Structure formats: structure tokens, C-alpha cells
Amino acid sequence: MIRKTLLPLALVLMALTGVSGCGLFGGDGDPAADAAREPSADSSARAAQQLPYDVKPLLHPAKKYFGVAVDGAPSSMKPVDAFAKTVGKQPNMVGSYSSWGDGFNAEGAQNVFEDGGLLYVSWEPFKPGLDKIADGSQDSYIKKFAASVRKTDVPVAISFGHEMNGHWYPWGTKDTTPRTFVKAWRHIHDLFQEEGATNVVWVWSPNVVNPVPTVQLKPYWPGDAYVDWVGIVGYWTTTGAHTFDTLYGPTRRQVATFTDKPVLISETAAEPGERRRADVRGLLGGVEENEDVIGFLWFNIPKRADWRIQSSPLALAEFKRLIADDAFGFEVPRS
């Protein structure tokens, strides 16, 4: 993989001003003026440094992200390649899960990037608790994680404490407060900035509000300066909503009252059953039709149900037909 570094300061100035190389690199110019133009040691060092990958072009893509989470990835890309062969298109986002205390999977991030995609990390703070993260006692771990992300120098999407509006995780409504969640989120974000780990797309990812209608999302919002995408977790189940609007609409409308950040369906799949083919059509059709929705990430792992798309031949055929549309998928730029 070829990466670009910054040009030396003199070359940058020459490119910006149109000055020919002869006056900058010696010749018949005034020695005093030449000495004044000589870059300092500090500026030369800054110019020689490679800035982190710029994620800004990834935030508002022209096409839709097509993501998948599969067992074994991203440490190995073979499961992703097998999935791609099954559905007829290579995903450009790969989902993964990381518990608090785990190191950053730098090799996995490189694997995904070299395959033309973006690694998506669901960072799960099972312990020691959001209060401990917010009060600074976990700073050494956060800084180490951030430094590894910075050093790896590929784009990474990070969703900290997903489904915070639910009661089923220790960082959810049962064991903590929105204020503590926001404080922890902002603290982590600020430490990443201090470490220069700006190659991160920050994804704030609540569960769909349907099962927890009394929990308001706005108190959990860290602020536009701290979030790049709104991720929405929502599965198509045999007993739940069966249209794109009834499943995701209530959440999207609530979110729209306090931010206009792009929306990613950050974790989803359709439960096996007679409606699965229609649910696949509803998901992909809804993502394609709604401009604010930039893509989806399919959970292709058997867990409490067989969410793998290949477990239902008719649903798989529908998935293959729809994902073949040019609206889905693109190669993440190398720099």
C-alpha cells in the first residue's frame, strides 16, 4: 500500500506561490533573504510528519456504504471474501466488537483498508463503568488505544457504548445516566484529539426507540462537535415492524429535532421466516431511497437467531438482486 507524505515546506511554498525552484534553493539571490527563508528545525519537523488519514471525504459519500459483520473478521478477511462471493458484491465496511480494555486491532483495520473498506468498531464498556471513564481514571488505556489508532493511520469508525438508550447493557438506562454517558463520550473524544487520532469517524448509535419509547434520545447526545454519524441499531424480527419507516422512522424523526448528521443503519439483519424476503427488500429499498441514510451494516452472525442471509435462499436471492445496484458500495480512497 502506498501512502502519501507531506512535501517539504519549500516545495509546498513553491507549489502555492508559483515561484521557481532557483530562488528557493540558492543561486544569485540575496544571502540574507535566503537565510530568512530557511525553515526552522521545528517547521521542518512538522512538514516531514505524515498527517493522519483525512476522514472528511468519507462522511458524506456519493454512494451507500455496504457493511457486514462476520465471525473471524477483520483479523482475517477470508470470511468477508466468502460473504462477498455469496451475495455478489464486496462490502466496503466491516463490523467488529471490542470490549473495554482490549487493544486496538491495528492488523484488522489495515486488512479492511487494504481491501477497500472501512473498519467499524463497536466499543463496548462492560467495565469499569462510565463514571470511571468520565473521571479520568481510564486515561492511560484510552490514550494507548488512541495512539494505536493514530499510528495505524487508516480510517476507522468507532461507536462507543451503542444502544445506550436500552436497559440491556451496563452502560444503558438501568445502571447509569445520560449525563454520565455524555461526559464519558466527550472525554474519550477529547483524548483522541490530543493524541492526534483524527482518523476516526465517531458514530453515536442508539437502538431504535420502538421498544423503549419513554427514553428520550436528546439527553444522550454529545453534541455535533463530537459526532460524525448517527448510527441506528434496529433488527427486522418476525414480531416487530416490517417497513423501513415503522422500524427506523420514529428514531430518525426524534434525532432530526437536534441534529442533521448523516444516518447509518449501523447494525441490522432480518430474522428468518416467511417475511424475510420482504424485510430485505424493505431494508435495502429504504436505505437507497432516503438521502440522509448513507448505508447499512448487516449482522451476518448466528446469535440467538440465524441472521446469516445465506440461511434463507429466497431472501438471499433478493439481497443479491438489490445489492447489485450501483447505489451500493464504493472503494474507500487510499489517501
Query: Each residue of 1-12: b (16+ CB within 10 Å) or e?
Result: eeeeeeeebbee
Say which range, 40-44, 234-238, 250-254, has the weakest mean pLDDT. 40-44
Whether the bond between 39 and the residue before it is cis, its omega within 30 degrees of 0, is: no
Residues labelled as active-site residues? 163, 267
In percent, the amount of the chain with pLDDT more than 70 equals 85
Instruction: Classify domain 56-323 by CATH number.
Output: 3.20.20.80
SS3 8: coil
SS3 158: strand
The answer to whether residues 125 and 100 touch, using CB atoms and an 8 Å cutoff, is yes
The answer to whether residues 319 and 68 touch, using CB atoms and an 8 Å cutoff, is no
Q: Render pLDDT for 258-274 as a digit per residue (tens, 0 to 9).
A: 999 999 999 999 999 99
Q: Is the pLDDT score of 151 beyond 80?
A: yes
CA 296 to chain centre: 11
The answer to whether residues 121 and 159 touch, using CB atoms and an 8 Å cutoff, is yes
Residue 49: what pLDDT? 60
Residue 43: what pLDDT? 37
Q: Render pLDDT for 67-115 as a digit per residue (tens, 0 to 9).
A: 999 999 999 999 999 999 999 999 999 999 999 999 999 999 999 999 9
Residue 6: what pLDDT? 34
**Mean local confidence (pLDDT), 239-262:** 97
Residue 335: what pLDDT? 76
Q: Whats the size of the chain, residue-wise?
A: 335
Q: Is the pLDDT score of 230 beyond 50?
A: yes
* All CATH 3.20.20.80 domain ranges in the chain, comma separated: 56-323
Residue 143: what pLDDT? 98
CB-count burial class (<10 Å; 0-12, 13-18, 19+) for 135:
middle
Q: Is the pLDDT score of 40 beyond 50?
A: no
Q: Is the pLDDT score of 47 beyond 80?
A: no
Residue 204: what pLDDT? 99
Residue 161: what pLDDT? 98
**Mean local confidence (pLDDT), 118-131:** 98
